[in-house]
Structure 1
C-alpha cells in the first residue's frame, strides 16, 4: 500500500481537506465532552525539531496522548542527524521503529528526501516553504465561526513567507480569493503564485487588500532564521501593521487570525489581539484537534 504523506495541502484532495477539518471539529467536541477515544494505542509519532516550537510540539504531543498513542521529541543535538547522518539513513531507521514522523525544519527539500525514504507517513510541521498543519487549524476555525470559506475574500498582510505560501495553496484547495499586501521585494514564492493564477493577487496597499475581506491574516515580519534582518524589516513593514482601524475597512463579519507567536506592536497592534473580531486563541487551540484528525487520517485504516 502506498504511504500517504502530508508535506503540503496539495497532498490531499479538496474533499479530503474538508473532511479533515470537519473531523477536527468532531474530535474537539468529543474531547470537550470528556469522551475517551483512543484509536492510536501502541502507535508512536517521532517528532524531529530543527526549529523552536511551542504550539507544534505541544499540539502533536498532546494529540497523540489523547488518541492513546505516544510522541517522541527529537532535536538535532539529541540525534545523529545533528552530527551529519544522511537524511535518507535516518528516514529508514526511524520509519522502521515509529508509525509516523513529524518534521519541523528549514529546507523543504529535506522533508521531501525524508519522505522518499520513509516507510511511514511524514508530516510537515513547518518548513521555510510551507506550514500546512497551521492552515488546517485556520480553516477549521473559520468554519466554526462563519461557516464555509468557499467564495469568500481573504487578505494576507505582511511578509510573503511560508504562511503566505500556504494560504496561496489554501485559496486553491478551499476555493476563496486571496489578496496579498506586502512591500516590494517581499513577495511570496513565484512558483506558488503561478500555480494559483488569478485566484491570488499581490498588491502594495494593505487598505486595498483588506477592503471587504472576510478574513485577515498576518505573521511576524522576521521569521526564524531571519533575525539578522529584523531591524531593517521593522522599518520596511511599519505601514503593514494590522490594527482595529484596518479591520474596520473589511466586511462587518471579518475575522482576524495570526498563527502566533505575535510580536505585539509590530505586525499586530496590542489591542487587536483582544478585539472581539480576533480568533487567535481558538485558532491556536485548533492546532490540537486539526492535527488529531490528520494523524487519524494517515494512520487509521
Structure 2
C-alpha cells in the first residue's frame, strides 16, 4: 500500500538553519508555535514519529552536554536516529575538506548538525551538502539556543514583543544570536559589556535595523546598571568561552564589574527572570543566590533546547 503523507508547510522555506539572521519574525513565531505543539504532544505521552527512518549526523569539534543530548534524544523521540561524529575521529580531522565531508555524509544521512569553531565551516558544509545542515554552535552564532530562549520567555511571560532582555557580559556568539532574535521578535535587547568586548559592529547594526522594523530596540552600554534597568529578563554567559582559555586571567579582570548579583538585579523589574545558556561558573559571571534563586529559570531554559530543536528537525527533515 502506498504511503500517504499529509501536506506540511516548510516554515523556514530553506534547506538549512545556520543563523537567526536568516529567519523572519514570522518564521520565528511559527517555529515557536511548532515547538509548543511538539512539546504538548510529548507531555501527553502522544507518539509522534515524523522522522521515522531518518538519521541525523552530528559533527562535534567542540565538546558539549546540552547540544549533544538534546539533539540525540530529540531524534529518538521523533522516531529517528542520531549518529555522534567526533571531529577528531572523522577524516575531517586529518585534512579532508569540508566540501568532501559534506558530499560524503549527504550519501548516508538525512541531515547534519555541526558544533564547531569557525562559522565559515558551517556555511561551507551547507553549501556542499545536499541534505539540511543545522548550526549547533560556532564562534559567531548560537541560533538553536536563542530559539529555545525565546520559547522559554514566551512560556514564562506570555509574550515577547515589548519585553526588555538585558544581557550582561561578553559580546560573543550568544549575544549575537540573542540580539538578532530579540530584534526580530520586537523586544528591547540591551547589552552591558566593557569596551573591547562589544558584539561585532556589523551584527549590531543589522540587529538595530531589524529592531526598528519590528518596534523593538537594541542598545549597547558599558554600564551594567544602565543595561539592566527595568529589564524583564536578565541574561548571562561565561566570560571565557571554549578556545579562549589563554585569555582567562585578562577576561576575569575585564569583567569583574559585570557579575550578576543581588545588587545588580535590584535594578531590574521585580518580576524579572534570570537566564543563562549554561554551563555556568558560579562566583564569576553570576552568584549562587541568583542562579539558584527563585527568579532563575535556567533549567526550564535548558529543557526547551530539546523542544525548540525538535521543531527545527521536523521543519527541515520531515
TM-score over 0.5 for the alignment?
A: yes
2:199 to 180, 183, 188: 188
- Please say if residues 143 and 149 of structure 1, whose CA atoms lie closer than 8 Å, have aligned partners that are also in contact: yes
Matched with 1:83 is 94
- Please say if residues 87 and 114 of structure 1, whose CA atoms lie closer than 8 Å, have aligned partners that are also in contact: yes
Q: Which whole-Å CA distance do the structure 2 matches of 1:196 and 1:259 have between them?
A: 20
The alignment partner of 1:72 has SS state of strand
Q: Which whole-Å CA distance do the structure 2 matches of 1:220 and 1:200 have between them?
A: 21
How many Å apart are 1:3 and its aligned residue? 5.0
- Please say if residues 244 and 275 of structure 1, whose CA atoms lie closer than 8 Å, have aligned partners that are also in contact: no
Q: Which whole-Å CA distance do the structure 2 matches of 1:145 and 1:177 have between them?
A: 17
Matched with 1:159 is 170
Q: Which whole-Å CA distance do the structure 1 matches of 2:30 and 2:19 have between them?
A: 16
Q: Which whole-Å CA distance do the structure 2 matches of 1:244 and 1:37 have between them?
A: 43
Structure 1 stretch displaced more, 116-125 or 28-37: 28-37
Q: Which whole-Å CA distance do the structure 1 matches of 2:228 and 2:168 have between them?
A: 8
How many Å apart are 1:252 and its aligned residue? 2.1
How many Å apart are 1:266 and its aligned residue? 0.3
Matched with 1:241 is 259
Q: Which whole-Å CA distance do the structure 2 matches of 1:161 and 1:284 have between them?
A: 19
5+ unaligned residues in a row in structure 2: which ranges? 1-9
Structure 1 stretch displaced more, 197-206 or 170-179: 197-206
Q: Does 2:231 match 1:231? A: no
Q: Which whole-Å CA distance do the structure 2 matches of 1:133 and 1:3 have between them?
A: 16
The alignment partner of 1:207 has SS state of helix
Q: Which whole-Å CA distance do the structure 1 matches of 2:292 and 2:37 have between them?
A: 27
Q: When you count helix as a share of all residues, which structure comes out higher?
A: 1
Structure 1 stretch displaced more, 30-39 or 113-122: 30-39
For these two proteins, the number of residue pairs brought into alignment is 300
The alignment partner of 2:59 has SS state of strand
Query: 1:1-301 maps to which residues of 2 (within 5 A)?
Result: 4-197=15-208, 199-300=217-318
Q: Which whole-Å CA distance do the structure 1 matches of 2:299 and 2:178 have between them?
A: 19
How many Å apart are 1:15 and its aligned residue? 1.3
Q: Which whole-Å CA distance do the structure 1 matches of 2:207 and 2:79 have between them?
A: 39
The alignment partner of 1:239 has SS state of coil
- Please say if residues 233 and 273 of structure 2, whose CA atoms lie closer than 8 Å, have aligned partners that are also in contact: yes
Q: Which whole-Å CA distance do the structure 2 matches of 1:223 and 1:285 have between them?
A: 22
- Please say if residues 61 and 88 of structure 2, whose CA atoms lie closer than 8 Å, have aligned partners that are also in contact: no
The alignment partner of 1:97 has SS state of coil
User: TM-score w.r.t. structure 2 length?
Assistant: 0.92
Measured against aligned partners, the alpha-carbon deviations of 1:33-84 in whole angstroms (never above 9, x if no partner) come to 2111111000000000000100000000000000000000001221100001
Q: Which whole-Å CA distance do the structure 1 matches of 2:180 and 2:14 have between them?
A: 22
How many Å apart are 1:148 and its aligned residue? 1.3
- Please say if residues 192 and 224 of structure 2, whose CA atoms lie closer than 8 Å, have aligned partners that are also in contact: yes
Q: Which whole-Å CA distance do the structure 2 matches of 1:165 and 1:148 have between them?
A: 21
